[in-house]
Structure 1
């Protein structure tokens, strides 16, 4: 069995995922084989593995930091909220069923054997497993069926480091209060704490750190300053949606629907110096962007109704008439069509609803969920915003319920490979004017050649000079960011002590 270490938190959004990713990269740099593990993840951002199985994206970027291929063993349980205190329960990459929160609470104990078997498999394969808890470790009302924090630490017999967020205030109280709420056996598992997201002079904190150590009887393993290294974060805790848009040459506005999923599709735009992004939240209106994106969603019909009821639909149509680019991904693609049908009530009680109507397509929801990685080639003979994109390669993954049939529209791409098998069929839809685009491919923008050409077409339309991307590959960009994170954490964490904790 390999070594293991588990990071748990005083709350959500304390930085467990980022620090876990940083430790994965550090251990890899130090010559160890390493894998991430999170027993239970609740998120709408998900990923499809090479085997066509679904997992949370947090463990995907941690796997990237570990320089290994992500597998569902790294996140055996994924919960995708679907509203009304219900969620879709995904176990080892496959949908079990939609459950109420109370039903899932009772069901969790049936998953213990799966978690133990899965974790043991990883621990036997890798030198080190970096484990991550979920939310707060001291949810005393859920302790009897906990499989995400101390319950999982016990299953794996793992030492625990607790992470607290000083940026939100009250970090000493939150850490000491967390320790107070743990029972004696759980407290013995805690071998240290990390104070994260510090702003200011560390010397002003030293006295408080010493007092905290005297109270909780375990060492503070580091005070990590706030930093802006460009690494993915989880949809449930991200601050991206609140960022103020700085006007730039190209302005993109993304509609933040209630059930938006896979906003990581748009992280690539943060690497392009001429692009600004704004998420249009509830109660806000679209401005005058160059591009409107309707993202993926866990509940297409509900989010379509939201767009309609909030008054955003006529704004989209008005921008379309002005010649702006309208881009829909997955559920957003489905919404852009003329009609959506749900004869099996997969999404709810509504059996049929009119779409936004900017594409001549119709989607019918079925009981089968499509989960696959794909590689594709953009179709030829496109013009306008899509000029010069013909024959460019893209890749990504599909996660959707429903099939979309096309009328008088042009295909966006030809799928060449699906789950490593050679195939040949067309996908996506484009209107005649090439200013409305829909696709099922999550991650399509991650291909720099495709995205930079699209952005330069927008620049040309606006009378601006074409520019090159300073980032030649999104994968290389992310890899360098993981190295930056590792260097940063080496400076601020007591790694010698962390290795000692794992070796005990």
Structure 2
């Protein structure tokens, strides 16, 4: 069985996911077989796995850092918010229910057995499993039935390293306060701590590290400076999409209320001549955009209503009149059509909703979700692309005869006005350098020298170097303990 260590945070967004990815890559370079594991994640930016399920995007990146294909065992419980009070529950890659938060709270304790099954399967196949917590163990109101933090650590008997975020201030209070508020049995599981996202001279925090150690008796593992290249890695949160482009080509992306699977933006944001601009609610779509990209949605009908409430339908019509181009992917593709028919009430009450009417297509919502890793050919350029499908609904109509992709032996997508308006279900196609260059060239961009997948690999190696330099990795890995059933 593998040795295991768990990385928990003193709060949300302290950088756990990136730390796990960097530690995993560093351990792999030391010759270890490593796997990531997160008992419970909440994200609508899911990755499709080789075993036909879905997991959080962060765990897919961590799997890549380990040199593995993503597998549903790496994130057995995925919560996908559909409303402000309810989420779709995905267990070991498959949807099992849609529940309000209160009802999920009653259910989650029953999920511990399958969570442990997934964990032990991974542990039986690797030398090291690095577990990532969710949120914070200091949320003691959620401790009963917990599967995400100390509940899992107790059930699997896993030691914990606690991470604090100094960038937001108050890191001493974060860590010491967590020590104070935890029950003794949970507190004793924490063996060490890390301070993350430091800016400036790390030595200036020597006294702070000493104070935390004195108050908690936890071992200091390191102060990790801000990793400047993090923006080059696939983001799990849409607001972490960090375009560094100077704006020769501007791509406007309306931020839908339930935006999902927006990893299509990462390769575009990596282009130095491309500016990817996330348009928040209340803002107009910019008049100087070359492309409006409508991304995926977890709740297409609700997001179509949200789109209209912002006046983006009017902005989009003006954009097209100026000669701008439009691309809809997945939920965005469905919105571009004439009608969305949900007679079965898949997304709420049964409804038939008028679409934006830019493509002559109709989408019929159906209960079966398509989850598939797919390959395709872009018909205009002959370039090969690979990606994934993750959607409910079947789309048909006259403009589907103008398919612009050939996917797994069948036509895919729809187009209108000579390619000015495009839609498809395939996510991830911009990761193909050849296709991305062709697509952006049609928008007027000079040839790019970006090799996206290679840059991601180089950035993961740089992240591992960062961990080696600023963490006491020998000490951290020595804290990992062998777990048994």
**TM-score between the two structures when normalised by the length of structure 1:** 0.92
Which range moved further: 149-158 or 287-296?
149-158
User: 1:232 Cα deviation (Å)?
Assistant: 2.5
293-302 or 107-116: which moved more?
107-116
Secondary structure of the equivalent of 1:433? helix
Give secondary structure in 2 for the equivalent of 1:264.
coil
- Shift of residue 273 of structure 1? 1.4
C-alpha distance in structure 2 between counterparts of 1:318 and 1:479, whole Å: 40
Other structure's SS at 2:82 match:
strand
Q: Does 1:501 align with 2:471?
A: no
Partner of 1:477: 455
**Higher mean Cα deviation, 160-169 or 491-500?**
491-500
Q: Is the contact made by 1:17 and 1:233 (CA closer than 8 Å) also made in structure 2?
A: no
Distance 1:59 1:392 in 2: 29
Is the partner of 2:158 in helix, strand or coil?
coil
Separation in structure 2 between the aligned mates of residue 479 and residue 108 of structure 1, nearest angstrom: 36
Tell me, yes or no, if structure 1 residue 398 matches structure 2 residue 389. Answer: yes
Q: 2: CA distance between counterparts of 1:470 and 1:83?
A: 41
CA–CA distance in structure 2, aligned partners of residues 271 and 211 of structure 1: 40
C-alpha deviations, 1:190-243, integer Å up to 9, x for none? 1111100111222221111111110011122110111222223322xx5436x6
Task: Give me the whole-angstrom Cα distance separating, in 2, the residues matched to 1:336 and 1:59.
Answer: 31
CA–CA separation in structure 1 for the residues paired with 2:225 and 2:243: 22
Q: For the aligned residues, what is the CA RMSD?
A: 1.5
Provide the rounded CA distance (Å) in 2 between the counterparts of 1:228 and 1:406. 46
**CA distance in structure 2 between the partners assigned to 1:291 and 1:275 by the alignment:** 11
Q: What are the residue-to-residue correspondences of 1:252-291 with 2, within 5 Å?
A: 252-287=251-286, 288-291=288-291
Distance of 1:206 and 1:245 partners within structure 2? 34
Task: Using the TM superposition, give the Cα deviation of residue 247 of structure 1 relative to its aligned residue in structure 2, in angstroms.
Answer: 4.4
Cα deviation, residue 270, structure 1: 2.4
Is contact 2:244–2:269 with CA below 8 Å preserved after alignment?
Answer: no
Q: Residue 245 of structure 2 contacts residue 272 of structure 2 at CA under 8 Å; is this kept in 1?
A: no
1:171 and 1:95 map into 2 onto residues whose CA distance is: 37
Residue 438, structure 1, aligned to residue 430, structure 2: no
**Given that residues 18 and 233 in structure 1 are in contact (C-alpha distance below 8 angstroms), is that contact kept between their aligned partners in structure 2?**
no
SS in 2 for 1:17: helix
CA distance in 1, matches of 2:228, 2:303: 31
Kept in 1: contact 2:246–2:272 (CA 8 A):
no
Match of 1:372 in 2: 372
Mapped to 1, the partners of 2:474 and 2:51 lie a distance apart of 38
Find the aligned partners of 2:377 and 2:106 in 1 and give their Cα distance: 47
In the alignment, the residues of structure 2 paired with residue 347 and residue 503 of structure 1 have an alpha-carbon distance, to the nearest angstrom, of 44
Deviations 1:372-424 (A, max 9, x none): 11111122xxxxxxxxx4321111111111100021451011112xxxxxxx2
Deviation, structure 1 residue 50? 2.1
User: Are 1:357 and 2:357 an aligned pair?
Assistant: yes
Tell me, what secondary structure is at the counterpart of 2:480? helix
> What TM-score, normalized to structure 2?
0.96
> CA shift at 1:470, angstroms?
2.1
Of 359-368 and 343-352, the range deviating more from structure 2: 343-352
In the TM superposition, 1:43-122 aligns within 5 A as: 43-122=43-122
Match of 1:491 in 2: 469
Give the distance between the partners of 1:67 and 1:84, measured in 2 at CA: 36
**Deviation per CA, 1:236-294, whole angstroms, max 9, x where unpaired?**
xx5436x6886421111111011001122110012211101100001111112001000
> Following superposition, which runs of at least 4 residues in structure 1 exceed 4 angstroms of deviation?
243-247
Distance 1:245-1:302 versus aligned 2 partners, 3 A rule: farther
Helix, strand or coil at the partner of 1:125: coil
How many angstroms apart in 2 are the aligned matches of 1:233 and 1:430?
Answer: 29
Aligned partner of residue 394 in structure 1, secondary structure? strand
Deviation track 1:108-133 (CA, whole Å, cap 9, x = no partner) reads 11111111111111111100000000
The total of aligned residue pairs comes to 478
Task: Measure the CA separation in 2 of the matches of 1:118 and 1:434.
Answer: 45
* Structure 1 CA distance for aligned equivalents of residues 112 and 399 of structure 2: 51
> C-alpha deviations, 1:415-450, integer Å up to 9, x for none?
12xxxxxxx211101113211000101101111100
Q: Which residue of 1 aligns with 2:298?
A: 298
- Displacement of 1:503 in angstroms is 5.3
Aligned equivalents of 1:364 and 1:458: distance in 2? 32
CA distance in 1, matches of 2:142, 2:422: 45
